[in-house]
Chains A and B, each alone.
Chain A
Amino acid sequence: MAPPVISLRNISKKFKKVEALKGIDLDITPAEITGIIGPDGAGKSTLLKICAGVLSFHGTATFMNTDIRRHPERIKKYLSFMPQGLGLNLYMDLSVEENIDFFAAIKNVPDAERDRLKDQLLRATGLEPFRARWARRLSGGMKQKLGICCSLISNPEVLLLDEPSTGVDPLSRRQLWEILNGFITEKGTTLILTTSYMDEAERCHSVRFIHDGNVLFSGNPEELMREEKDLEDAFFKMLLAGKELTTYDIPFRNNVSKNGSIAIVISGVSKHFGSFKAVDDVNLSIQHGEIFGFLGPNGAGKTTLLKCVLALYKPDKGSIRIMELQSGSPELRKTVGYMSQIFSLYGDLTVAENIELYGAIYEIEKKDLKERMQWVIDVSHLAGMEDTMVGKLPLGIKQRLALGCSTLHLPSVLILDEPTSGVDPVARRSFWQLIRLLSDKLGMTVIVTTHNLVEADYCDRIAIMNEGKVIAVDTPENLRNEFIHHSGDVYEIYPETGLDAKIFSERQIEVAPFGRRYHIWKKGLSENEIKALMDSHKIGYRFIRTIPPLMEDVFIYFLERKR
């Protein structure tokens, strides 16, 4: 095996009182994709910055045999580092081309080499037509693609990307992975990336699972997937480490009767901001007691639509009826609960004070409030912390508390805008459990938005949104079946050795590399055909199996069909 390109021994890092890393050992294999995964605040970014030589630390670290601590400047000509956040390494007031040129100049790329690689990258990312456009005017996905172009222009030996796909729309995410996979195969680049999306880890050759400053797992994703159906479940088990996920019950009943079967009707709603169509002719009806998800990338119009439902925005066209009342009717105030995208609690008030405040706003009677407050405190794991300032709580707990507060008045309709954004997988899962409970026990109709397509399976029905339009509405299962019906089953192949993806693409088979595995699909493609194809190229394989299509692929399918 090739010697590691980066080698960390007993690395620790303290920020004031917080220990971000607690003596980590880690090796990175060259010419592979290594995924550093883990919940938020696990220390992933810290680790990446140490590898890039932009953060001080304790311990021994070498980068291509150079001591990072002693000679951080010597390693920088070999690496490219992209910090976390959409397009945060870009200069927003420079054009696409100027950004790339700037990076080339500070990284000493000769002009001829720069121009050649620039053309190649711009074509691959689909940014070619936007050369002269300012970075500010690019969409989130385009910014991230440009960020990757800027990182690749110096043809680095090692590419360090901090959460490259967070907040990127599915189509751009797919392109991003295509470029990265291409680069690794063609140039033998070592790629290290961090992610809090567990599904993304499956695309890596090798993963390091970081939790609370320690490495919990180091190895190939395939090793974990033997026992669990996907990595998320595997990591979830590791995080819980034998502990059971707490279950709750609701000690009180909702007195809202389920009189009609349809809770919300949205008909022909459009909302424009200037010439920008944030919401474009949306028609939907949501049933009583349903968990209904709006899925789509940032900027798809999810929040705007919710704000129309809440009568915070007046739609330019169309109408919305909630529980047979016009949206915005004063009677609705007590039947609708809302948790906004921006943290809606007061950081300078204690847990109990926040709950009391919401109780007062919703005019809940004293005797009811006591019981409900106890419940909110139980479900947000805050027993004994009633007097803690909310500002000091971790995000996952805050979100549960906010959810509790928005349900204090036992609304019939609960509207949650991106409640799980930035929440780690464990907290996310128990958050969804809570939503399910509210829906099952109290018959609440819950509307949730999320940009994380993986969360589709937590919903009864979903609406996929893109550019203000709803492009598909159904249960996640039906949407997948429709994909399979039109595009064929999705197969996962785990070859013994590496293979050239061309053997599939030249037969018009869709192919996406996932670490050492490949996902392939084509209408009418059978397992026997694949086996024959593999045999004809003399490629052995550990398994070929059908898997449910990824929601991301389903999304792209519907998007392309709409077009």
Chain B
Amino acid sequence: MQSHDTSSRQADIAALARRLYKHGVHRASQAGRLATCSTGWPALDRILPGRGYPLTGVTEWLIEQTGIGEFGFLLQAMAPRLAAAPQTRLVLINPPHHLNALALEAHGIDRARLPIIRCERAGECVWSVEQLAEAGGLVGLVLWEQQLDSAALRRLQLASEKAGCPVFVYRALAAARQRSPAALRLALTSRQGRQRLEVIKCRGPAGARMDGLTVDRDTPWHAPPPITGLARVATTPADNDVEPPAVPSSHDRSRRHAGFRADRDDPPE
């Protein structure tokens, strides 16, 4: 009964949107239809504008520290794209540690198309990205670099538009305070094996959060079972401010406000 109600309500909303669209009124959540690529995680796709990482733009990952499942999270999106186009490459610039071939293989990455570039200075990183963008034929560029000012990020943004592929930058969480021209900024934290992901900036309404991956005995980082509450958070349009989106009434709103929480309080299905 309830599902019937929801679907009829959605149809009404859609009809209303069409009428408003005729008069030039757009929904903020659909502002600027972006060319995106799926993140590989349906829950994250739902809260991002355009349902994925922007294809032409810088996506900034602000991570608390290395080793909280941040790169595996991204590989989930990049591996199928790399496999789909046999001539393309995924370029890694200045990875923080030695990569493990076995783990990459488990992610289904073709190592022959994974060049790893080492630069000494941030300027060289940006220059390399520009050079690579000119060559094209990339599915993505991943960059680990802390010393990026907004001019450098803007150059990365231009390079990304030229190459037509996303550029991902991993930076420390402290950089969240700095202004950034990146198209998408995601903050990733981890407490007791549970990731917490927050959209700090995106085109369209920002401030959405979601629970990321968790660890358990058998697998390192994996997606938790889907939760309806999360889906509703995602689909609810919100204003473009720091206020979190509307929260299902069953949850305590004040606790939701409390930034990066240590654990998940959503009741499991």
Partners in one complex: no
Binding site for A on B (CB under 8 A): none
Binding site for B on A (CB under 8 A): none
